[in-house]
Amino acid sequence: MRTRIYAIVVGILGVVALGCGGARNETGPTPVTGSDPSPGSSSGVQLTDDFGGRQLFPSDNWWNQDISSAPIDPQSDAYINFIGRTRTGHPDFGPPPYGIPYVGVSGSEPRSAVTFVDYGSESDPGFKGEVGYPIPSQAQTQPNYIEGGAPGGGSSGDRHMLIVDRDKWALYELFGARWNAGARRWEAGSGAVFDLSSNARRPEGWTSADAAGLAILPGLVRYDEAQRGPVRHAYRLTVRATNGYVWPASHRAGSTTGALPMGARLRLKASKSISGYPQYIQNIFRAMQTYGLIVADNGSDMYITGAMDSRWNSDELNPAFRNLSAADFDVIQLGWR
C-alpha cells in the first residue's frame, strides 16, 4: 500500500512540503478480516451512500468540467513517454479492503475534534466555524470506515477517511486518520473540509487530505454512479512522480524533471474503442473521454482511484483497465479552464 513520506526543505523562499509515494503492488494490500460495508442505523450513518444521485460540487467545478474539446498540451507526448507508453491502467479499488471508503451522515452526527500531527497549519478544524469532524463512533472499532480496512485506521498506509454531511452538504476528508485509544482522540496527518455547494479552492500552497490539495471523493469511481448511467466527473489518478502543480491543484509533492505536475489532466482518446465491455465499464471509460483523469497524488503510474464497495467485480474490472495504456491518453493543456 502506498505511503506518503514528507521532508521539509527550508530555503530563502520559505518552507516547502515535499511528498513522495512508494508503489503499491498490483494485487493491493493484504486483506483485513472484517465485514463488508453496511448501512448504520441508529445514527443515520450510511456507507457507500449515493446521496440520492446528487452531484458533488457545482456543475462548473473542475471535477465536473467537460474537457472533451480542450486543447492538447504541447508536451503531451513527452509526459506520456515519461510515464511509459505501454504502462497499463489499473483499477485502484474493488471489494473490501481495496479502494477508499466514504460515509454519509446526517447533520446531527456528533462532531469530534481531530488532532493534526503533520499539517495542522494547513488543515481545517471544521465547517463554517464549527470545530470537529462528524466521525461515526463505529469507526473506532469496526472495519472499512477508513482506507485499508483496519478498525480505527491502524498504523500504516494512507488511511483516508471521507465523510459527507448530507444535510449541510459538506465534505470532510482526513489523511492518516487513526483512533488513538490511549489518548481517547482522533488523529490525522491533515484534514480538509469542503462546501459541496461552492467552487472555493484551497489556499495557494495548502495541501488537503490529498497531496494536490484537492478533494478526493468527487474523483472516485463509484459503483452506484457507474451502474446508473453516464458518469459526469473526472477521476483521481496517481503517477510515480510529479513536478510542481497547476490549477486546480494548490500543493506540490515533488520536483522530478519531466514528470507531470499535480493538477494535470489526462484524457482518454476518442478513438479508443470502449465497446464490448459491460455497460458500467463503458460508463467509466466514457467519463475518461469526456472529463478525464486529474493527477492528485504520487503512487503507482496509471492507477485510477475508486471507492471500496463489495459489489465491484474485479474479474471484469482488472482486464478491462489493463486494456488501457498510457499511449491511449493525451495530456490536455496544463492549467486549462
**What are the 10-residue block averages of pLDDT along the chain, 337 residues in total?**
33 31 33 37 74 95 98 98 98 97 97 97 97 98 97 96 98 98 98 98 98 98 97 98 98 98 98 97 98 98 98 98 98 97
* Model pLDDT, residue 44: 76
Instruction: Report whether 50 contacts 224 (CB < 8 A).
Output: yes
Residue type, 261: P
Instruction: Report whether 296 contacts 219 (CB < 8 A).
Output: yes
Q: Can you point out the beta strands (E) in the chain?
A: 4-11, 14-21, 46-47, 90-92, 102-105, 114-116, 161-165, 170-175, 178-180, 185-188, 190-195, 235-239, 265-268, 293-298, 303-305, 329-331
The domains of the chain are located at 38-331
The pTM for the full model equals: 0.88
* Model pLDDT, residue 43: 52
Strands 190-195 and 170-175 turn out to be: antiparallel
List CB contacts of 53: < 8 A, sequence separation 6 or more. Answer: 224, 228
Instruction: Report whether 324 contacts 87 (CB < 8 A).
Output: no
As a residue count, the chain comes to 337
Instruction: Report whether 179 contacts 152 (CB < 8 A).
Output: yes
* Model pLDDT, residue 48: 86
* Model pLDDT, residue 107: 96
DSSP 254: -
